[in-house]
Amino acid sequence: MPRYDLPLDDIRVVELGQLLAGPFCGQLLGDFGAEVIKVEDPGRGDPMRQWGREKPHGRSLWWPVVARNKKSVTCDLRTPEGQDLVKRLVAEADVLLENFRPGTLERWGMSPAELHAINPWLVITRVTGFGQTGPYAPRAGYGSIGEAMGGIRHVTGDPDRPPSRAGISLGDSLAATHACVGTLVALHQRERSGKGQVVDSAIYEAVLAMMESLLPEWQQAAYQRERTGPVLPNVSPSNVYPTADGESVLIAANQDSVFARLARVMGAPGLAADPRFATHGARGEHMAELDGLVAAWTATLPAEELLRTLHEGGVPAGRIYTAADMFADPHFAAREAIVRVPHPEFGELAMQNVVPKLSATPGAVRTPGPELGRHNDEVYGGLLGLTGAELAGLREKGVI
């Protein structure tokens, strides 16, 4: 196995969460070298092991990605013996990551105060729907609810239809990404203070954080953003346009200088000086008219010729990619955006690579998601020093 020099390889994370909101944070930390010990329920494991539409060999294709670079141990957290095992792991850890409903850890005797009594350096990262405080904290909160409450659902889709959703678990992933940022900040601060702290990442707040000027627009101008389909209000031209061979190309030329370039490649440089289109505000006011002019031009060219013309003219443009397009694209290949990882059932399994890229100590996908409990002996025996007899006893009781 290749040797990696990874920037977080001195950090140990105990991951208690399941599904995506917590585990994606663990994936991000593991991508850069953190030792992520994933604690799963014996016999069942994380439900992500069964999720996903396509299941060749009866295996989830989601699990190898979200659990990559992790170690799997089993532990029944509802038992005193299981809780004791986690406390012993906490004593050896830098981060505890969980996404249970607020109060769950407390019921198991693992409140932040109790965990910090064991390990004052511990960073406790908690991902939930509504946060650890406030009147909604006790509610069950899935990513879709956070997306709705955080504002993204209301502005997604076409104006003549009910709110839509992205085809991915956007709220969960945003909350996990913010949790990762918070964890890294808390680890940095720990070096100054000598103490850990709690990172409280709420799904609805992570979505809200991405909502640009939505709040001041309402507070200052009583303007409510609505669904606008493929365009943004008053931002033009920035839309999906037809081609002569029946494809669609996205063009984003709303900045003054970029629009001037587009006008030139369209063979109509005068458009950039036309009072209807000369400024950002004017183009926004005459969006429909301008989109019609651009679409009439793009429809005369096949997609490849159109894209070549736009790129040569310095106009941002591109196709809307599917997975097949990504595998065929030379830029994806040159930057190794897709990595292939050895897998015991799938052979060579393709998945997205680590981002962002670091020049000196980049992250790496070392292993796909492991089998349930694969690392019980390594972690409980090697790290905690349990004997073979003790491990056998825990297995007999169903604790691990």
Q: pLDDT digits over 160-174, tens only?
A: 999 988 888 999 999
What burial letters (b/e) apply to 260-284, b meaning 16+ CB within 10 Å? bbbbebbeeeebbeeeebeeeeebb
The per-residue pLDDT of the chain, averaged, comes to 94
Catalytic residues: 172
Sheet holding 95-98, edge to edge: 70-74, 35-40, 12-15, 95-98, 123-128, 198-202
The packing angle between helices 303-312 and 256-265, to 10°, is 130
Binning pLDDT at 50, 70 and 90, where does residue 4 land?
A: low
Digit-coded pLDDT (tens) for 207-233 = 999 999 999 999 999 999 999 888 888
Q: How far apart are CA 292 and CA 246, in angstroms?
A: 17
Given a cut of 90, is residue 345 above it in pLDDT? no
For residue 200, the surrounding DSSP H or E stretch is: strand 198-202
Residue range 150-167: average pLDDT? 92
Residue range 321-336: average pLDDT? 96
For the ranges 141-145, 206-210, 315-319, the lowest mean pLDDT is seen at 141-145
Cβ distance 317 to 311 under 8 Å? yes
The pLDDT score that the predictor gives to residue 51 is 83
For residue 39, the surrounding DSSP H or E stretch is: strand 35-40
The percentage of the chain sitting over the pLDDT mark of 70, rounded to a whole number, equals 98
Digit-coded pLDDT (tens) for 354-392 = 999 999 999 999 999 999 999 999 999 999 999 999 999
The pLDDT score that the predictor gives to residue 59 is 79
The pLDDT score that the predictor gives to residue 40 is 97
Digit-coded pLDDT (tens) for 29-49 = 999 999 999 999 998 899 999
For the ranges 76-85, 139-148, 185-194, 309-318, the lowest mean pLDDT is seen at 139-148
Q: What is the dihedral of CA 198, 202, 205, 210, to 10 degrees?
A: 90
The pLDDT score that the predictor gives to residue 1 is 41
The pLDDT score that the predictor gives to residue 2 is 46
The pLDDT score that the predictor gives to residue 54 is 66
The pLDDT score that the predictor gives to residue 359 is 93
Pairing relation of β-strands 70-74 and 35-40? parallel
Digit-coded pLDDT (tens) for 235-244 = 999 999 999 9
Residue range 323-346: average pLDDT? 95
Given a cut of 90, is residue 310 above it in pLDDT? yes
The pLDDT score that the predictor gives to residue 295 is 97
The pLDDT score that the predictor gives to residue 257 is 96
